[in-house]
Amino acid sequence: MPFAIVSGANRGLGLELVQQLLSRGWRVIAGCRKTQALRLTELAGAHPGRLHVMPLDVASERSIAAFVGEARIVTDQLDLLINNAGLLVSGEHFGQVNAKSMADSFAVNACGPLLLTQACAGLLQQASGARVANISSIMGSLASTDTFRTPSYAMSKAALNMVTRLLAAELSPQGITVASLHPGWVQTDMGGENATFGVEQAAIALIERILALDASDAGRFIASEDGRELAW
């Protein structure tokens, strides 16, 4: 039975990704800051022995180390890592952008995925054809940016895309495929109720795209909706 880790798994896309993986027969480690989330508890009850909920703050090296140590107790291999946890600081305008918002966004959106992947590398190497999916955003596309919007988020997702390129270069020779995926505009706390896609619809598209990733996708930036290549 394949094993996945999903970060930021207590709500939004992360929670739905956990549900989609469980329904496909996977075993899942849900990493989150709020491990008591009711929906996760319900899912664990509905899928006995297949969902492990473990504390994870991707902005903390110490938390990442403890999390991976705990993961190693339940599995010695990892087929899929979804770096989903994300932070969007809303309400930023030119003239009042502050250093803390930028630093927090980089810690969660860019540094966290690199550090978590690095800590999971040994587990990923033990699986055959492992994948790392970095949940990025079109907001991180340099080529598509022509307005001053959500700078902390946009800059940190651009950095995440570089993380994808760096990790793909490092891990491809070991048979591990790393890619960036944009899920579209999704109705979550982050995306808001006017977003294009429902969370279940977006998670299904994302999971199908992620499970179809192969070595030829290493280092790519892909829209999960239709698989099109996005401009960096």
Ligand X SMILES: NC(=O)c1ccc[n+]([C@@H]2O[C@H](COP(=O)([O-])OP(=O)(O)OC[C@H]3O[C@@H](n4cnc5c(N)ncnc54)[C@H](OP(=O)(O)O)[C@@H]3O)[C@@H](O)[C@H]2O)c1
57 binds ligand X (CB under 6 A): yes
Q: Which of 4, 22, 71, 108 binds ligand X (CB under 6 A)?
A: 108
Phi, psi of 9 (to 5 degrees): -95, 5
Q: Which stretch binds ligand X (CB under 6 A): 53-61, 67-75, 115-123, 163-171?
A: 53-61
Reference 74, options 105, 52, 106; nearest CA is 52
Q: Based on the shown chain and the rule CB under 6 A, indicate whether residue 14 belongs to the binding site for ligand X.
A: yes
Subset of 23-42 contacting ligand X (CB under 6 A)? 32-34
Q: Which stretch binds ligand X (CB under 6 A): 5-13, 22-30, 74-82, 208-216?
A: 5-13
C-alpha to C-alpha distance for 227 and 77, rounded to whole angstroms: 28
8 A C-beta contact, residue 21 and residue 28? yes
> Contact 206/160 with Cβ under 8 angstroms?
no
CA 71 from centre of chain: 17
Using CB under 6 A as the binding rule, whether residue 81 contacts ligand X is answered as no
* CB nearer to ligand X: pick between 85 and 127: 85
CB 117 within 8 A of CB 85: no
Contact residues toward ligand X (CB under 6 A) are 7-8, 10-14, 32-34, 56-59, 84-87, 108, 135, 137, 182-183, 185-186, 188-191, 195
